[in-house]
Structure formats: C-alpha cells, structure tokens
Amino acid sequence: MHGKLKNVILTEDDKKFVSTARKILANKKVQLMKKFTQHGDISCYEHCIMVSLYAYMYAKKLKMKVNVESLVKGALLHDFFLYDWHDKAFTPDGLHGFSHPYTAERNASRTFRLSLRERNIISDHMWPLTLTHVPVSREAWLVCMADKYCSLKETLLKNPY
Ligand SMILES: [Fe+2]
Ligand SMILES: [Fe+2]
C-alpha cells in the first residue's frame, strides 16, 4: 500500500539551490568536468553534483543555518581542477591529493566572482589531509563531510547512486 500522495513543496532555499546550481553548471568550463573521471565510472561533474546534494541534505537534516548560495557554489566547484588525476598524480601545484583544492580554488575564482567563504569551502575540502587548511564555516564542514561520504561510496560501490 502506498501512502497518501502529497504535493512536493519547494522551499525558498530549495529554489535558491536549483537557481544557483543552474548558473554554475551552465558554464562551459564547468561542463569540462564531464570529461574527467573522479572515482570508478563517476565523472568530476557528477561527483560535484552529488556532493552538493548531500551537503545540502545534511544541512536540512541537521536544521543548520547556512548560506545556500555559498554552499552550492563551493560544493559544485570543490573539484574544479580540470585534469585527469589518474594520469597526472604530480601537477605543477604539487601532488594531486594535496594540491587539487588550491588548483580548483584558483580555477573557480578566475571563472566566477567568489566570496572568501566560498573560496575557503573549496580550498579546505580535503582536510585533514591538508593539515593546516581546516574548514572555517558551516558550509565548508558540510562540503568536507559530503565529499568524504560520496568519495567512499564512489570508490567502493559499483552503482553508488
Ligand atoms: Fe577533492
Ligand atoms: Fe571531491
């Protein structure tokens, strides 16, 4: 038996999530992330979308007050490094695992107008690997946690989503 059907009501925050994501994802450079594999069969583009969804979902579940626009921008651009790390472990910025947050932050701030908080979401997402770059905002913590969860799923499961 199915329960009673209900209309889905989009909140103002949900609408902000969608409108911000649309703007970021429409960018040609962001579309390039489709070409690069992140984990398994998942591209960087798909990975960033899933991280943004999980980060937003956590914020809702935990009833956290967040800046939705910053959360979405930071999440969608957190892996905007634009190369295949499987054949480029050493980059001009350093070893991929440690350096890609800064490469992504540079690409993102050259492509979009970003606040300091949004730049920090990107640069601090690999903490604790990048020891001194501890997330400093709620949005940065949410993206850092969602990224770990999604990365684990993508690495371990054949059909993660
Ligand atoms: Fe990353
Ligand atoms: Fe990531």
CATH assignment of the domain containing 134? 1.10.3210.10
**The pLDDT of residue 127 is above 70:** yes
**Strand ranges inside the chain, DSSP E:** 37-39, 42-43, 90-91, 94-95
Question: Which one has a higher pLDDT value, 5 or 146?
Answer: 146
Print the domain residue range for 37.
13-156
pLDDT digits (tens, 9 = 90+) for 111-125: 999 999 999 999 999
- Measuring CA to CA, which residue among 17, 70, 72, 83 is closest to residue 48? 72
Asked whether residue 138 is domain-assigned, the answer is: yes
Domains contained in the chain, number:
1
Asked whether residue 3 is domain-assigned, the answer is: no
Kindly state the average pLDDT of the residues 15-42.
96
Inter-residue contact 68 to 23 (CB < 8 Å): no
One-letter amino acid for residue 81 of the chain: F
Asked whether residue 17 is domain-assigned, the answer is: yes
Q: How far is the CA of 16 from the centre of ligand 1 (A)?
A: 24
Asked whether residue 5 is domain-assigned, the answer is: no
- Measuring CA to CA, which residue among 132, 130, 126 is closest to residue 147? 126
Q: How far is the CA of 78 from the centre of ligand 1 (A)?
A: 6
Please tell me the number of the ligand nearest to residue 147's CA.
2
Ion ligand 2, residues whose Cβ is below 5 A away? 79, 147
**The pLDDT of residue 1 is above 70:** no
Q: Which residues contact 26 (CB under 8 A, 6 or more apart)?
A: none
Q: How far is the CA of 3 from the centre of ligand 2 (A)?
A: 37
Asked whether residue 161 is domain-assigned, the answer is: no
Asked whether residue 98 is domain-assigned, the answer is: yes
